[in-house]
Amino acid sequence: MALIPRLDVAALDEQPLDPLTKGLPFGVPPMRLGDVGGQGWSLLAGDIPLPAAIIREDILRANSAWMRDFTAANDLLLAPHGKTTMSPHLFDLQIADGAWAITVATVQQLEVCRRFGVKRILLANQPVGRAAADACFGALRDEALELYCLADGEAGLALLADATRRNPPPPGNPLRILVEAGFTGGRTGARTRAEALALARGIAAMPGLQLAGFECFEGVLPTPQAADELIDDVAALASAALDEGLVAGEAPVVISAGGSSFFDRVGERFDRVSFSRPVLRVLRSGCYLTHDTMGYAKAFQRIVSETTLNLPAGGLEPALEVWAYVQSRPEAGRVMLTMGKRDVGFDAGLPQPQRWYRPASGMDAPQPIPGGHETVALNDQHCHLTVPQDSPLAFGDMVGFGIGHPCTTFDKWSMPLVVDEQYRVTKALKTYF
């Protein structure tokens, strides 16, 4: 496999936009991705077809800076999960704000990072399939790239061992492996500390692989207390592996956890353990960057109220919104909008109407949606809202929705739009889903 040609986001901005891209105004002249921000388009002026996914640039940058400050203040490193946005422009922002690495879930996502010059990548899964394993070792031929991936069992390790023999990595650039700690009834990961340590010993003995540490994904657990146990496993495993001399050389050891819902607990629990060597404590939060108005908003409230860690001023705010037109108000108490399952995530709560705007009406700015407006259903391309009899909403009005779980809204847009506080388009992103 050839070395992958490197692009940067400037090159991405040079790419011609397919005129059929969802979100692009109809009938515009041919343009490049990077031209979108200079068109003077305004969401509120009706320049953008709705539905549209927009990201408030001011909030995005503030969230990114907040997490930079939070991790710096608490001796944590950030490897934000790139699967959330799959946007090289946003990876760049995260790296500019000090991200230690970008995390990915699949080899296709790894390839996107590589192509856009990310130099340290954490594949937070065990590679499966000969092609995926070979792609990981192929990536190591670029000696400037540092690649971590997971192992959670002997079968996965055997696949990596075979791939190492087919594609020996350059000396000094081994495939770095984090052993995954899991829990009974959970997702991937060794079920006991003994199994995890046995796996670590196997990795330590394997040429071309390097035991680089331990990690878990605690995000599927229901409570902070349950997360604590799993996070403690990771720290204990790292401590034991160091004591046993399993980590070669002088490289620091990585301990890592998922982190969007419980990033306080990751910091607190990792802080309780002392290690015989420097340890990198890596959070992999992905959702902090745009945040949401539902589950992560609630999780953040808990963090702020409970944590013993250092909290910077400010906090995370929702940056990602989906806007739709009122398509019909066929009954006084019922409003239909031009947004559906194709346009907005619905796996962590239905989108919530938050503000509305009537184009060409002289309204200064979007107004808060009064109480009593509730999303009751989504079809593929429609949103059903129940509204009070005196709702102001009428055909042609624009409604901005808050979303839950940004990952499943991002993946519905190949071109999310970045806007300023007046909802003027400042930039177009490209996503790779």
Q: Map the footprint of its own copies across residues 246-305, applying CB under 8 A.
A: none
H helices of 116-153, where?
A: 130-139
- From 39, 42, 328, 354, residue interacting with its own copies (rule: CB under 8 A): 328
13 binds its own copies (CB under 8 A): no
CB of 256 to its own copies, least distance (A): 17
Using CB under 8 A as the binding rule, whether residue 346 contacts its own copies is answered as yes
138 near its own copies, rule: CB under 8 A: yes
Structure tokens at 364: 């200064």
What CA–CA distance (Å, rounded) separates 313 from 152?
39
Identify which of residues 90 and 190 has a Cβ nearer to its own copies in the complex.
Answer: 190
Q: Which residues pair with 402 in a beta bridge?
A: 321, 352
Tell me how far, at minimum, the Cβ of 245 lies from its own copies, in Å: 27
Considering only residues 119, 120, 193, 341, which one is a binding residue for its own copies as defined by CB under 8 A? Answer: 341
* Shortest distance, position 28 Cβ to its own copies, whole Å: 9
Q: Say how far apart CA 289 and CA 426 lie, in whole Å.
A: 18
Q: Using the rule CB under 8 A, which residue among 8, 244, 347, 421 binds its own copies? A: 347
Per-position DSSP letters for 355-406, written without gaps between them: EEE-TTTT--S-EEPPTT-EEEEE-SS-EEEE--TT----TT-EEEEE-S-T
- Work out how close the CB of 15 gets to its own copies at its nearest, in angstroms, rounded to a whole number: 9
With contacts defined by CB under 8 A, name the span among 58-66, 242-250, 304-312, 389-397 that binds its own copies. 389-397
Q: Which tokens hold the place of 125?
A: 């899964």
Which of 55, 123, 257, 336 touches its own copies by CB under 8 A?
336
Q: Binding residues for its own copies, how many (CB under 8 A)?
A: 77
Select the span of 55-63, 231-239, 244-252, 325-333 touching its own copies (CB under 8 A).
325-333
Sign of CA dihedral 361, 362, 363, 364: positive
Residues comprising the chain, all counted: 433
Among 120, 193, 201, 342, binds its own copies (CB under 8 A): 342
Nearer to its own copies (CB atom), residue 24 or residue 241: 24
- How far is the C-alpha of 307 from the C-alpha of 131, rounded, in Å? 43
Q: Which stretch binds its own copies (CB under 8 A): 277-285, 349-357, 366-374, 392-400?
A: 392-400
* The binder of its own copies chosen from 384, 388, 424, 426 (CB under 8 A): 384
CA–CA separation, 52 and 325 (whole Å): 10
Nearest to 306 by CA among 211, 228, 385, 421: 228
Instruction: Indicate the residue among 307 and 408 with the shorter CB distance to its own copies.
Output: 408
- Residue choice 250, 364, 380, 390 for contact with its own copies (CB under 8 A): 380
Upstream peptide bond of 392 is cis (omega within 30 degrees of 0): no
What CA–CA distance (Å, rounded) separates 86 from 430? 8
Q: What does the alpha-carbon distance between residue 266 and residue 92 come to, in Å, rounded to a whole number?
A: 25
Nearest 5°: CA angle at 123, between 120 and 127? 135
State which H helix or E strand residue 20 sits in.
none
Q: Restricting to residues 151-170, which ones interact with its own copies according to CB under 8 A?
A: 152-153, 155-156, 159
Q: Which residues does residue 89 pair with via DSSP β-bridges, in sequence order?
A: none
CB contact at 8 A, 393 and 356: yes
- Segment 349 to 378, residues that bind its own copies, using CB under 8 A: 359
Task: Print the binding letters for residues 173-212 with its own copies: x by CB under 8 A, - otherwise.
Answer: ---------x-xxxxxxxx---------------------
Site string for its own copies, 15-54 (x = CB under 8 A): ----xx-xx-xxx------------------xx-xx----
Considering only residues 87 to 126 of the shown chain, the ones binding its own copies according to CB under 8 A are 105-108, 111-112, 115, 125-126
